[in-house]
Structure 1
Amino acid sequence: MKKFHKINLLYDFYGSLLTERQQNFIELYYGDDLSLGEIAEQFDVTRQAVHDTLKRAEQTLTNYEEKLSLVKKFSQEDQSLAEAINLINRFESGQDIKGLHKSKSILQEILNNRQEL
Structure 2
Amino acid sequence: MIEDIIRLNSLYDYYGKLLTDNQKQSFYYYYRMDYSLSEIAELIGISKQGVSDNLKRATKELEFYEENLKLAKKSTSIKGFLNQIESITSREDNQENIEISNLVKKIEKELED
Give the TM-score range, shorter chain.
0.7 to 0.9
Which residue in 1 is equivalent to 2:68? Answer: 67
Q: What does 1:49-88 correspond to in 2, within 5 Å?
A: 49-88=50-89
Q: Please say which structure displays the higher CA radius of gyration.
A: 1
Q: Deviations over 1:44-96 (max 9, x none)?
A: 3332221111011000000000000000100000111111111112234xxxx
Which residue in 2 is equivalent to 1:115? Answer: none
Which residue in 2 is equivalent to 1:27? Answer: 28
Q: Which runs of 5+ in 2 are unaligned?
A: 108-113
How well do the aligned residues superpose, as a CA RMSD in angstroms?
2.1
Number of equivalent positions: 97
Q: Which runs of 5+ in 1 are unaligned?
A: 93-99, 111-117
- Partner secondary structure for residue 91 of structure 1: coil
TM-score, with structure 2 as normaliser: 0.75
Please give the alpha-carbon distance, in whole angstroms, between the structure 2 residues aligned to 1:37 and 1:90: 55
Please give the alpha-carbon distance, in whole angstroms, between the structure 2 residues aligned to 1:81 and 1:33: 33
Higher relative contact order (CA 8 A, sep 6+): 2
TM-score, with structure 1 as normaliser: 0.73
Which residue in 2 is equivalent to 1:114? Answer: none
Which residue in 2 is equivalent to 1:36? Answer: 37
> Is 1:3 paired with 2:17?
no
The alignment-based identity, stated in percent, is: 38
